[in-house]
Amino acid sequence: MSISQQSFDALIDIARDLTSSLAADDRYERLLDAVREIIPFDAACLLRLDGDELVPVAAHGLTHEALARRYPRREHPRLDLILAAAKPVLFPPDSALPDPFDGQLEADPHALEHIHACLGCPLAESGQVVGALTADALAPDAFDGLDEGVLTALGALAGAALHTTALIEALEQKAERQGALVQELQRALRDDDGLVGSGPAMTRLRREIEVVAGSDLPVLITGETGVGKEVVTRQLHRLSGRRDEPLVQVNCAALPEAIAESELFGHVSGAFTGATRDRTGKFELADGATLFLDEIGELPLTLQPKLLRALQEGEVQRVGDEKIRRVDVRILAATNRDLEQEVAAGRFRADLYHRIAVYPIRVPALRERLEDIPLLAAHFLEKVRRRLGLGAVRLSMEARELLLSAEWPGNVRELENVISRAVVRAAAGTKRADVVMIPRDLLGLRRQTVRDAVREGNVTEGSGRTGFAPSIVGSDTSTRAHLGDGPFDTSSGQEEIGELVHHSGPLRDRIDEFRRLAIRAAVARHSGNWAAAARELGMDRGNLHHLARRLGVRE
């Protein structure tokens, strides 16, 4: 039988596509379109051989579920026969062998359970089987009269197309991974500030980092918002045996629950609406490297079991894929939450907590390392100076004193923001060669010392008597009556502040005592409501709790 012009043109189209610049998905679709010109099918599937399993890469006339499955040879005798054959296989319409796509025909799910036409072509490249092409038709005689030579040529060209497309797809995925890794490296270089500080707290922190960095143990980095947990993470990675590989970062707090699993573990094409192509997850991206799970306390509870499996077994599974992939990843995690409390409240899995907290490191708050403020300020001044292209930038003596006495609820991040804003304000209208001097008032900080409180009018100096402005204690009769009641009794607050102003002790001790009185007064004014007290004092509630415990105001 001579080949028809239609079949000839279809084979030519497949041959042309071998050398065309098409994306992998487009190649698969065009291949099946060409097959339809030769074989009058109701359903067709192109499958790639992966070990002893066949994996669908494209299909016409089959359900999405058919594409999401994997087909082991030992469980599907028709597919096994096709792969073992040297030429196309045409099955008898009444064959007793189960069709692998029974119940998965898009037009009529159960049609393939009845007598129907079925054929398959082994796809080979350089003598090696790389996949299979299957076709089904509801009419039992649909494939009668098909030319075996045409089908053999179709199988040869389709095998070459499948092999070529697989190579292109692998290159695309490698390019995608390399591009993502470059982005991670660029971010690490952009954000690389290093650990700044030489006080006791930072000395202890550096010692902890040096102890655990060289191991592959998971590390949980804790601390308040803005203390520099990311900086600690980068230092851990820099001193690790994986230093030559990238540090891949995931912000768990920024992941919507609907896409969190795909972001971490990846997905395959067709796994859900909008999944038009395979995607590599962060775990695969970090294979052989380090994965930083920032704000892990925000990870959805529904996703935690799969994360636990990845950590315990080193195995990940893409959304919509049955294949298990092994990865070698070191985990660094960070949170500003108390995960033990989260576990007790049922918001975080206990087994996952113990898996990530093998070696916990706590990053101290800025108020615990006040001696490092001058070094940090100098570091941020230089950083902003270079960014703005300025000459020398200096802090006035008054500005330095104010930095040392501030509360810093936002920790190091707040200090950097304050310095950056002050430099921008001070540099306005100056020339490049000018020395930029930053006065105290451009810092925009609330004055925290007792002397500053007196200057602002919140505390009135007198001979043994001190009055409070309403913002600190309150001056109306009802407030004063309330303050003398309960655990925050400040009925003698005026006398105490008077003694504090004239006290001859160290300035830091006097500042701490002033803070105790202000916290007690604010909490009392709000009937023990710490959240309301924090809002009045302009502080984060968690930071207020930490400060109150440090000062002994609460247990």
Question: Do 375 and 358 belong to one domain?
Answer: no
Q: Whole-angstrom Cα distance, residue 44 to residue 238?
A: 52
186 falls within a domain: no
pLDDT of residue 308: 93
Question: Do 280 and 404 belong to one domain?
Answer: no
pLDDT of residue 450: 41
**Residue environment code for 380-401, b if the CB has 16+ CB neighbours within 10 A, otherwise e:** bbeebbeeeebeebebbeebbb
Question: Do 226 and 348 belong to one domain?
Answer: yes
- DSSP three-state, residue 431: coil
Q: Is 179 exposed, middle or buried (0-12, 13-18, 19+ CB in 10 A)?
A: exposed
23 falls within a domain: yes
pLDDT of residue 473: 34
Closest among 530, 521, 408, 531 to 471, alpha carbons compared: 521
pLDDT of residue 167: 59
pLDDT of 494 strictly over 70: no
pLDDT of residue 172: 59
181 falls within a domain: no
pLDDT of residue 4: 61
Question: Do 153 and 14 belong to one domain?
Answer: yes
For residue 426, give the CATH number of its domain: 1.10.8.60
* Angle made by CA atoms 232, 207, 403, in degrees to the nearest 5: 60
448 falls within a domain: no
Phi, psi of 55, deg, nearest 5: -115, 120
544 falls within a domain: yes
Q: What is the DSSP letter of 292?
A: E
Three-class secondary structure assignment of 512-528: HHHHHHHHHHHHHHCCC
pLDDT of residue 459: 37
84 falls within a domain: yes
Question: Do 383 and 243 belong to one domain?
Answer: no
End-of-domain residue from the set 443, 464, 482: 443
pLDDT band at 192 (very low <50, low <70, confident <90, very high): low
Question: Do 313 and 424 belong to one domain?
Answer: no
pLDDT in tens, 210-246: 999 999 999 999 999 999 999 999 999 999 999 888 8
Question: Do 458 and 433 belong to one domain?
Answer: no
* 94, 130 Cβ separation under 8 angstroms: no
Q: What percent of the chain has pLDDT over 70?
A: 78
pLDDT in tens, 373-419: 999 999 999 999 988 888 899 999 999 989 988 888 889 999 999 99
Question: Do 228 and 353 belong to one domain?
Answer: yes
Radius of gyration in angstroms for the set of CA atoms belonging to the chain, rounded to a whole number = 35
Once rounded to an integer, what is the mean pLDDT over residues 245-264? 87
Question: Do 130 and 259 belong to one domain?
Answer: no
Question: Do 355 and 412 belong to one domain?
Answer: no
pLDDT of residue 444: 87
Once rounded to an integer, what is the mean pLDDT over residues 40-47? 89
Question: Do 337 and 425 belong to one domain?
Answer: no
pLDDT of 168 strictly over 80: no
pLDDT of 124 strictly over 50: yes
pLDDT in tens, 87-107: 888 999 989 899 998 888 887
Helical (H) or strand (E) element with 325 = strand 325-326
- DSSP three-state, residue 59: strand
Question: Do 280 and 313 belong to one domain?
Answer: yes
Closest among 265, 319, 255, 329 to 292, alpha carbons compared: 329
26 falls within a domain: yes
Q: Whole-angstrom Cα distance, residue 521 to residue 543?
A: 17
pLDDT of residue 545: 82
pLDDT of residue 393: 92
pLDDT of residue 550: 83
pLDDT band at 169 (very low <50, low <70, confident <90, very high): low
Question: Which tokens belong to 320?
Answer: 């919509």
Looking at the structure of the chain, the number of domains it has is 4
Give the bridge partners for 221, in sequence order. 334, 361
pLDDT of residue 310: 92
Q: Which residue has the tokens 């695969």?
A: 284
Once rounded to an integer, what is the mean pLDDT over residues 483-505? 45
pLDDT of residue 461: 34
Count of Cβ atoms closer than 10 Å to residue 411 Cβ: 23
Three-class secondary structure assignment of 69-97: CCEEHHHCHHHHHHHHCCCCEEECCCCCC
End-of-domain residue from the set 364, 391, 412: 364
End-of-domain residue from the set 378, 408, 443: 443
Once rounded to an integer, what is the mean pLDDT over residues 149-167? 71
pLDDT in tens, 134-150: 989 999 998 888 877 77
For residue 103, give the CATH number of its domain: 3.30.450.40
Per the prediction, the chain carries an average pLDDT of 79
For residue 304, give the CATH number of its domain: 3.40.50.300
Q: Whole-angstrom Cα distance, residue 482 to residue 63?
A: 71
Q: Which domain holds residue 386?
A: 367-443
pLDDT of 322 strictly over 50: yes
pLDDT of residue 347: 92
pLDDT of 126 strictly over 70: yes
Give the bridge partners for 250, in sequence order. 293
184 falls within a domain: no
